[in-house]
Chains A and B, each alone.
Chain A
Amino acid sequence: MVLKRLNSILVFCFVVNMLTAQKTNDIKLLTQKKEFISGSAIQLSFKNTSEEQIKLIVKNSYGTRILNASQKENTINFIIPEYISKVRGNLFWKIISKSNQLSGSIKVLPREKPKTIETYLGPPSIIAGGKDFTMLVTIPTDKFDNPLKEKTPVNIKTQFLENESISEEKTNNIIVYKNIFSPLKSGRMIISSESHQLNSTEIDAAIMPDNAINYDIFYSQNHNYADGNQITSFYTSTIRDAHQNIISDGTYVYFIVQNKNNKILKTSGTTINGVATAKIIHPDKEDNWQISSYIQGIAESNKTLNLTFNKAVLDYNYELLDHNRTITVGPIKSFQNQMIPDGLEVSLTLLNEGKEIYKTLKTSRKGFVSFKIDKNIYPDGIYDIRIKSAGITKELQKIKLW
């Protein structure tokens, strides 16, 4: 009984073995080679003893294709088309068969030598001083646009003024990259790369000057009278960075003026060749200015300038006409008794019992200003009149208008 059972188990095992053996032996890979160079002819051969029509799935990085076999006796061949065999990477294949699950992979290796060298440089401009850097990424590719294999040597070449350097790198994860730190001087750096005697085109990186350091300020003016007409120019010394590079043109420089009454005036200019110039009009009454300058958030002037403006108009006359309703102020004369240039402000205030009831502002023309007090609005009566110009106030008490 035991024997019989053993026997039947044996028979069972044999049958199972036969079945499985047949399954795996039906189709067998004959091609032994596992690695091919990109673009070379690849053919996969199988031994096929079954009657079945076999197809082959081939799949690479970019797609899948179904291949039909060419059969010679018990051997079937699949020729991998060039557009598949040229692509670097794993080429997965799988037999389409009812009885068989055979699958495998071959490797397509990139060619040894590059055809093109792709280079990317960024950022394209960096700041001098050795802290900032730009990054060069280089990808040498073969004639089928495959990145070359890992550890391909690539030389990265840089030129800046008299300095030329070559550094030897190796590809890792498809690419070679190198951080190129800025020199102390501003200018233009030329960068290129080379692999297997193939050179990339040159790329240049602009080395921009570093941030400005503190600077001096100066002024120039025609005279120092407060005539409300002349213009004073402020300008800076040549502004440089810490490495003596002249800062970039167009840097915005502010000039801040604090006057006698602690009011702030502001003017600004942009640099050309490191010098910024800004202009400001003279005050129209005597004043004293404290001038400082800054580049926002970066640098400021070393010292504060002190500027005094003298009186240009020492005094002026006025005349009351036409029932005192026309007030003519003038002539207003400047520092050499010349008529003041047009545009000096003169204000007139009409007061009634100490209360301001009318105020008007006019600018001088040919040294004179004329005010009219309208009868229809301001009826006849006794008024006080106040005239103000060039810092000089005239109080006219109890003037009768009629």
Chain B
Amino acid sequence: MVKNNKYFIRVIAMFFYIIVISILLFLVSSLYTYLNTGADRSKMLHLEVKKIDQYLPKIAWAENGNEGRFVDDETLKNIENDYLDAWYVNHVSNKTNTTAGIEDYYTKNARKKIYDFIDENKKNNISIASTTINHNPDILFFSEDGQLIVLEDKEVIEYSSIYENDKFLYDYTSKASYKMMLLLEDGFWRIRHKIKENEEDLIKNYTNVSIDTFEIRGINYYPQKTPWDTFGDNFDKDVLDKDFKLLNNANINTIRIFIPYVDFGKANVDQEKINKLKTLLDIAETNNLKAVVTLFDFYGNYNVLDWTLNHRHAEAIVTNLKDHNAILAWDIKNEPDLDFNSRGKQNVIAWLEHMSLIIKSIDKKHPITIGWSNIESASILKDAIDFISFHYYEDVDLFEEKFNQLKKEIPNKKLVLGEYGLSSYSGFWRPFASSEEKQEAYHKKMQKVLTEKNISFMSWTLYDFDKVPKEVVGSLPWRTNPQKRFGFIDTKGNLKPSFKYISKQ
């Protein structure tokens, strides 16, 4: 007994010893690691300066030769870099009325002329948010010693939004041509002379593409396991194929999908994501589904200096997919009207309008639309887009009346109900709010109106979800929980009663 006890105490003591030593070791090693991090010698001198994308207007150099010395590709790249940076720092100074960076891209004499404006605008509390959409530079002359160029930049489209005392005053888009002389000074191409040759208001021509004859019987689609993350790591072809077959059998002919801006790589669109999107569209095509592709999901900046980056994002996606048979239309942005308050209505609208011009300049075949969050916003930019789409989550009984009113307002464009639906959630956070039966009744009613008036529709959504990312409706449980129950199929995969009314009978 005593022996046993002794063994027991010995074992305990050993364990105790090991634990204490491990803890000590852990602490000492943590301290050691801590003291050894943060002072990376290779980073002391900032030797590696990474180029970040901050300003990427569309730039097309004229390849028609020039007087003087031949311009090689490397030189042209340097000129392009510094030339665009010169524009960028000028935009920044217009906006902030500061001189940061001007010194690097304008020579001593030229920068004085910019400072004159900065001083005056600062005094009068004027600030100008501006950007250029495109540049068409043409080198006219390159000196033999490689230190001086003269270039011409024709038909530069410039957007300016003017604020007085921090309040929006006016915005306009113009088209201008410039002639400039640049000098190579301490490794920077600096603007020495900048002469605007002409400038006029940009006349925006909207050429509309009609899809009036196509009857959309659609649904907003996310896979059940990966809502709001269709193209993430768990992208699964088989799931898509199964879902699309189900939709096709349920008399659905269109899906609305969402392209997250950051996830797709912002201005430098990730080719892998494009490939996933292509795969999804291929599967849709084999299942006789068309797709409305909604761009710029989870994007909400609209900052004028961010535009050119957004343009490159849209350009990459649209250019890659414009010939895909499954594409029905481009939805520029989901519910941009919700950002009016925080980002400025005028700013958001101008962003949408320029984006529509960019997309239309690339893809002349497919129509574009904007997924307005409510029927009241639906007439904004009605001339710029090809069909009107709006979301309706309000009283089902008022729908018909409101729709008729909108039809009266916009008689010559197709109206599409881009999102509608009802959550079947009832539980702790919202007891007795709804039920699967109420949802069924809702869809029955809606489908009746839609069928009668022959309205194109896309419902929200196929599945109930287990999780909703907090970027969608925040993280408050009384908001996220109802959001999980909008589906026609519950989380276990059973058809809810509303499934009968997923499409026309």
Contact = CB atoms under 8 A, between A and B. Distances in A.
Contacts of B179: 173-174
Interface in B91-110: 94, 109-110
B113 A122 contact: no
Q: Which secondary structure characterizes the binding site on chain B? A: strand
A89 B152 CA distance: 13
For chain A, which range describes its interface: under 10, 10 to 19, 20 to 34, or 35 or more residues? Answer: 35 or more
Contacts of A84: 116
B194 A61 contact: yes
B357 interface: no
Contact of A174 (B109, B124, B195, B199): B195
Interface in A114-150: 120-123, 133-135, 137, 139, 145-147
Interface in A44-88: 55, 57, 59-66, 81, 83-84, 87-88
B147 interface: yes
A65 B120 contact: yes
Interface in A235-253: none
A229 interface: no
Contacts of A170: none
Contacts of A87: 113
A144 to B, nearest CB: 9
Interface stretch (B8-16, B137-145, B217-225): B137-145
B339 interface: no
A137 B94 contact: no
A101 interface: yes
A179 B141 contact: no
B141 A173 contact: yes
A191 to B, nearest CB: 13
A92 B174 contact: yes
A105 B170 contact: no
B144 A179 contact: yes
A12 B357 CA distance: 33
Given A65-B120, A174-B150, A103 B193 contact: no
Q: Which of B116, B160, B176 has the most CB of A within 10 A?
A: B116
Contacts of B198: 90, 105
Contacts of B148: 120, 137, 175
Q: Which of B141, B150, B199 has the most CB of A within 10 A?
A: B199
A63 B114 contact: yes
B176 A62 contact: no
Contacts of A145: 109, 113
Nearest to B141: A173
A177 interface: yes
A188 interface: no
Query: Which interface residue of B124, B174, B196 has the most chain A CB atoms within 10 A?
Result: B196
A231 interface: no
Nearest to A134: B144
Given A61-B178, A177-B141, A66 B162 contact: yes
Interface in A96-110: 96, 101, 103, 105
Interface string A12-53: 000000000000000000000000000000000000000000
A65 B199 CA distance: 15
Contacts of A279: none
B106 to A, nearest CB: 9
Contacts of B195: 61, 88-89, 147, 174
Contacts of B114: 62-63
B304 interface: no
B162 A177 contact: no
A177 B181 contact: no
Contacts, number: 126
B199 A64 contact: no
A83 B120 contact: yes
B126 A66 contact: yes
A329 to B, nearest CB: 60
A147 B176 contact: no
Nearest to B150: A173
A146 B160 CA distance: 25
B407 to A, nearest CB: 22
A94 interface: yes
Contacts of B152: 173
Contacts of B172: 57, 94, 103
Contacts of A92: 174, 176, 196, 199-200
Contacts of B116: 62-63, 83-84
A65 B152 CA distance: 24
B270 interface: no
Given A57-B170, A147-B181, A173-B140, A89 B197 contact: yes
A65 B117 contact: yes
A83 to B, nearest CB: 4
Contact of B145 (A57, A65, A122): A122
B117 A63 contact: yes
Interface string B126-157: 10101000000000110111111010100000
B171 to A, nearest CB: 10
B199 A105 contact: yes
A120 B147 contact: yes
Interface string A158-200: 0000000000000001110101000000000000000000000
A83 B197 CA distance: 18
B271 to A, nearest CB: 40
Nearest to A104: B200
A144 B276 CA distance: 58
Nearest to B169: A96
Contacts of B169: 55, 66, 96
B212 interface: no
Contacts of A57: 162, 170, 172
A122 B144 contact: yes
Contacts of B288: none
Contact of B201 (A63, A103, A120, A123): A103
Nearest to A110: B195
A90 B197 contact: yes
A123 B145 contact: yes
Interface string A333-375: 0000000000000000000000000000000000000000000
A62 B169 CA distance: 21
B199 A59 contact: yes
B122 to A, nearest CB: 12
Contacts of B178: 61
Interface string B165-189: 0000110101010110101000000
A335 to B, nearest CB: 61
Nearest to B170: A96
B474 to A, nearest CB: 38
A292 B322 CA distance: 72
B143 A120 contact: yes
Contacts of B120: 65, 81, 83
Nearest to A90: B196
B53 interface: no
Nearest to B130: A64
A135 B144 contact: yes
A210 B166 CA distance: 66
B197 A64 contact: no
B199 A135 contact: no
Contacts of B193: 139, 146-147, 174
25 contacts: A55-B169, A57-B170, A57-B172, A61-B113, A63-B94, A65-B117, A66-B126, A66-B169, A89-B194, A90-B198, A90-B199, A92-B200, A105-B198, A105-B200, A120-B143, A120-B145, A120-B148, A121-B145, A122-B143, A122-B145, A135-B145, A173-B152, A175-B141, A175-B148, A177-B68
4 closest pairs, A vs B, by CB? Answer: A122-B145, A63-B117, A135-B144, A92-B199
